[in-house]
Structure 1
């Protein structure tokens, strides 16, 4: 480590730092880190910090090198205790190497996520204390998403569960008093609501796998035209008017490799979205260019405003006239991207048109 405290304040617009592989010139690298970095010496004096640390703390740290770091950077926990006194980086057990990331506060209420590392000499004394810090916005956003998830799931589960419980209780208590038509209607309602529950749980599991990068695909050659026709047939079997649907095939069968179950899920979500929110006819077109298999799902509804065409793929997004969990299109994007493709909303004069581009031909591992 360098002996000159000012060297820790260097950076891209300061004097050249020389060979960045030399430990004495490590600051040339930390200036490019997305996290804030603060370093104190064995006496607790501030040696230096990078610009990101100054941005996060709002304190001109690099102009206060040589001062005691606990005064320059008065970090406190949520109980108001000084982090420097509680952790005592220069005292305590000599086996300590640092502390895990914690949510700490500065004067004025600014929050930071701070972790520390203690660099020890051969005699186990602390030579340097290095702090890394980052904004709490990411964690706060994740917490808001978790609250939104719980709220959405609770709302979506409540209605079908209430329906299933009510109808099943009625059937059990009044079976002999009900006409056959009434029984069939109630049983059909129970089946519809259980399918809705199963779909919601499946979407939540898919989102979890996609976000965690644990979604596995079983790639195989797919007859996309037959798959589209099958999904349209399922919509018709569910009671939708067959005259409402049109399938426009490609001049030549596209060569598509992918996970058939996931491609079915993409098609199903887009068709249900078009039927639920589009109104009028629904057209599914199949095409291919030199690199992609192209699917277009178009409806004749009110369309999607330009400012919302990216937001529709967000988790839990619901427009003013849209119902459901707000998860379907988010799942569509995740599944399409897992196949190496992309999905977008086109700018069309009438209705809404979703375009899906999936890589044509077998995956590189099979070429």
Structure 2
């Protein structure tokens, strides 16, 4: 891009300076050749420092430009500094020091050949230190950023391995523990039954954590989810899903019989269960599940009648580990948002009086949509 810009400036410069049109076009052509080389050559198959050869070609063009215009170096200095800045962004220090001699010669030799005064020649001893210092500062900052990126990549690999371990290795023994606790609960009475019930609740919480971490890893690793989309009668689908829940709260369904949902059933089930469970856990009944048609979208709303959520918390409810509590870990709503996005919709929280409504939209079906 740097050489492409230089070439375009050379072409533009022909109009105000037609006497030097030939020289300008020659320099512009050289710039375009270097730009094409930078774009088209397979640099990914070479050593990381190989593109630095473009800088050497650039210095040669700078020298040609200064000589062609009789020693006028007005554009040479800034472009030389820009070349050094580009090198500092991409290459190690030895490349920058390796550029010193070619850069110095490309600046000085044309001035000597065009018989410039010692004062003009001495400008090289000001320009070169400035260029190398700028490049070294940029190189140092770029190196720190690359080191930080590599460290973050290692942390991410470690996190992914830890999440996979938790998600997969915890679930198998947890199933055995849950079965044993359920059998013990059936035979226990009094205080033992209450202890078994408490243990089962904590086991369920760990299971939710494992499932949430597994979904988090699936989304993080692929960046998207593959959906098995199909049309489902909305009221029947929502009713079937809510039958799976055993919540001690009043549930109300407000869905028209003629509405149809185009969703992945398993993922929609996950969305609805997460929202209804959250509403029952953190709010108060009745919990109202409604579905309405809003233009080209279906709007699912799960509302509780509890104390609500403060305004400053609502925008970050759907972040990873944004909120949690004794019964949750803060992954449920983040997963809801990711699943909604995978369907082409979105998830938001809206204030109600009383309570709060969690709203998820889905693209509607039918000719109107």
Fold equivalence (TM over 0.5): yes
1:334 aligned to which of 327, 333, 338: 338
- The question of whether the paired residues in 1 share the 8 Å contact of 2:229 and 2:264 is answered with yes
Q: Give the distance between the partners of 2:198 and 2:327, measured in 1 at CA.
A: 19
Q: Matches of residues 204-243 of structure 1 in structure 2 within 5 Å?
A: 204-211=213-220, 212-213=222-223, 215-235=225-245, 237-238=246-247, 240-241=248-249
2:361 is equivalent to residue 357 of structure 1 = yes
Q: Give the distance between the partners of 2:364 and 2:155, measured in 1 at CA.
A: 38
Q: Give the distance between the partners of 1:187 and 1:11, measured in 2 at CA.
A: 78
Q: Give the distance between the partners of 1:147 and 1:46, measured in 2 at CA.
A: 43
Q: Mark the CA change 1:47 to 1:280 in structure 2 (over 3 Å): closer, same or farther.
A: farther
Of Structure 1 and Structure 2, which has the larger fraction of its residues in strand? Answer: 1
Task: Give ranges in structure 1 of 5+ residues lacking alignment.
Answer: 31-36, 49-59, 77-81, 86-104, 115-133
Q: Mark the CA change 1:306 to 1:182 in structure 2 (over 3 Å): closer, same or farther.
A: closer
Counterpart position of 2:129: none
Q: Give the distance between the partners of 2:322 and 2:95, measured in 1 at CA.
A: 43
Counterpart position of 2:254: 248
Q: CA deviation at 1:253?
A: 2.4
Q: Give the distance between the partners of 2:266 and 2:10, measured in 1 at CA.
A: 56
Q: Give the distance between the partners of 2:286 and 2:9, measured in 1 at CA.
A: 61
Q: CA deviation at 1:15?
A: 6.8
Q: CA deviation at 1:305?
A: 3.2
Q: CA deviation at 1:195?
A: 2.8
Counterpart position of 1:312: 317
- The question of whether the paired residues in 2 share the 8 Å contact of 1:45 and 1:67 is answered with no
Q: Give the distance between the partners of 2:178 and 2:294, measured in 1 at CA.
A: 51
TM-score by length of 2: 0.56
Q: Give the distance between the partners of 2:6 and 2:312, measured in 1 at CA.
A: 43
2:81 is equivalent to residue 64 of structure 1 = yes
Secondary structure (helix, strand or coil) at the match of 1:41 reads: helix
Q: CA deviation at 1:341?
A: 1.4
Q: CA deviation at 1:204?
A: 1.6
Q: Mark the CA change 1:39 to 1:149 in structure 2 (over 3 Å): closer, same or farther.
A: closer
Of Structure 1 and Structure 2, which has the larger fraction of its residues in helix? Answer: 2
TM-score by length of 1: 0.57
For residues 23-80 of structure 1, what are the alpha-carbon distances to aligned partners after superposition, in whole Å with 9 as ceiling and x for unaligned? 54459989xxxxxx995337868759xxxxxxxxxxx99552676998x67966xxxx
Counterpart position of 1:278: 283
Q: Give the distance between the partners of 1:136 and 1:43, measured in 2 at CA.
A: 25
Q: Which has the larger radius of gyration?
A: 2
Q: Mark the CA change 1:65 to 1:331 in structure 2 (over 3 Å): closer, same or farther.
A: closer
* RMSD, aligned CA: 5.5
Q: Mark the CA change 1:84 to 1:182 in structure 2 (over 3 Å): closer, same or farther.
A: farther
Q: CA deviation at 1:331?
A: 0.4
